[in-house]
Amino acid sequence: MLIDRYIIKEILLSFFVTFCVLAMIFLMYSLTIFLGEAVDGSLSGKEIIVLTLLKTLIAFGVLLPLSYFLSTVIAFGRLNLNSELIAIKVSGTSSKRITGNILIGCVLIGVLSAGASLFCRPWAYQEIYTLKDEIASKWEFQKVKSKRFYLSENEEQIIYLGKNDFSSGKLEEVFIKNQQEDGFEIITAPIGTIKSFITPKTHQLSLEGAEIYKISSEDKFFVQLENLTLQINAFKTIEQNQRAKKKPNIILASSTNPVEKAELQWRLSAPISCFILTLTALPLISISPRQSRLAKIPIAIAIYATYYIFLGFSRTLVEQQVWPHLWFGPIIFLSVLLIFLRLKRIREN
């Protein structure tokens, strides 16, 4: 029992350090990405921090299995370095018992991976999409500074605001020019209010004391209105895709959409990956006296990269309806692994 606790303690200690390092690396990477997006002022400091933390939480489903895989290799590398693994074997501890201890930790980390992938992932994506929509709606009129002209993407609309209080939506000295095929239309008003993104592509503009001047090849008129409500096209539309990543598991389970099927299978792959990677680590923890504790890390990283490529490639094929299931990739990888282990055992005998 003492040896069992010692082995598990060594693995979990290495796991904690490895996971913290990987999580910090991913957090800094995500922070760099969002800082790049904030150059134009579309993201505040608080929004950058929240988005970075949510992205890091989403990555837990991948980082947990990877961390346990690497920590197993690192822990036994240290035991090899100090000849402790030889001492453990000499004391009568069998390889099956050592493997059993490794699998106990695998079950624990697998449960954490399942929770992160099945529950934290959709919740985090829901928060990210909600926040991004809010950012898009705020950014639209924060960008329209006072006393400047702005041209829409289709170059058919020009907007000028004498004063823009985007926190309350109140506007002053409003000028809008709509270019049309046979003429143009000009709308002016001393005051107004804006409600951003009433629909994904339009804002609602309410004007008081509005004046409209229109000229075309067939007509020309001028009119004054006490109140005028307009739907104006957004310069930047809110993203409205399927967003399968934020959908609950129960909805994905009943869906026939290939993208949603692939998303559910990807979530389920986290605990399965933990088990497969743990099996992959077993050939790397054989007795190798006086070998550096990190000597096998490059091999472990190469193995993980290969596995992740298999997994990502399988997901793409499911989304493209080439494969019905994501599991073909991991099955192929595991089959190659078992063949390798079998050949290795035959060679040793």
Coil, strand or helix: which one is 328?
helix
- Domain's final residue, options 215, 233, 251: 233
Expressed as residue numbers, the domain containing 174 is: 145-233
Tell if the pTM clears 0.85, that is, is over it.
no
Helices then strands (H, E): number in the chain? 9, 6
Q: Are residues 188 and 315 in the same domain?
A: no
Q: Are residues 29 and 101 in the same domain?
A: yes
The predicted pLDDT at position 332 comes to 85
- Domain's final residue, options 191, 211, 233: 233
Query: Number of folded domains in the chain?
Result: 2
Q: Are residues 122 and 42 in the same domain?
A: yes
Q: Are residues 10 and 97 in the same domain?
A: yes
Q: Are residues 262 and 314 in the same domain?
A: yes
Q: Which residues of the chain have pLDDT under 70?
A: 1, 37-42, 86, 90, 134, 136-144, 152-154, 166-169, 197, 200-201, 233-242, 287-293, 341, 344-349
- Nearest CA among 43, 58, 196 for reference residue 131: 43
Kindly provide the residue ranges of all beta strands, DSSP E only, lying in the chain, ordered along the sequence: 149-151, 157-165, 170-180, 183-199, 202-216, 220-233
Q: Are residues 19 and 95 in the same domain?
A: yes
- Domain's final residue, options 233, 268, 298: 233
Q: What is the DSSP letter of 82?
A: T
The predicted pLDDT at position 239 comes to 52
The predicted pLDDT at position 131 comes to 83
Instruction: Please list the helix, strand and coil fractions of the chain in percent, rounded to the nearest 5, in that order.
Output: 60, 20, 20
The predicted pLDDT at position 136 comes to 64
Q: What is the DSSP letter of 294?
A: T
Q: Are residues 167 and 205 in the same domain?
A: yes
Q: Are residues 155 and 100 in the same domain?
A: no
Q: Are residues 344 and 228 in the same domain?
A: no
Q: Are residues 107 and 200 in the same domain?
A: no
Q: 18 is written with which tokens?
A: 């490895």
Q: Are residues 202 and 184 in the same domain?
A: yes
- pLDDT tens profile 321-332: 898 888 888 888
The predicted pLDDT at position 42 comes to 61
Q: Are residues 43 and 134 in the same domain?
A: yes
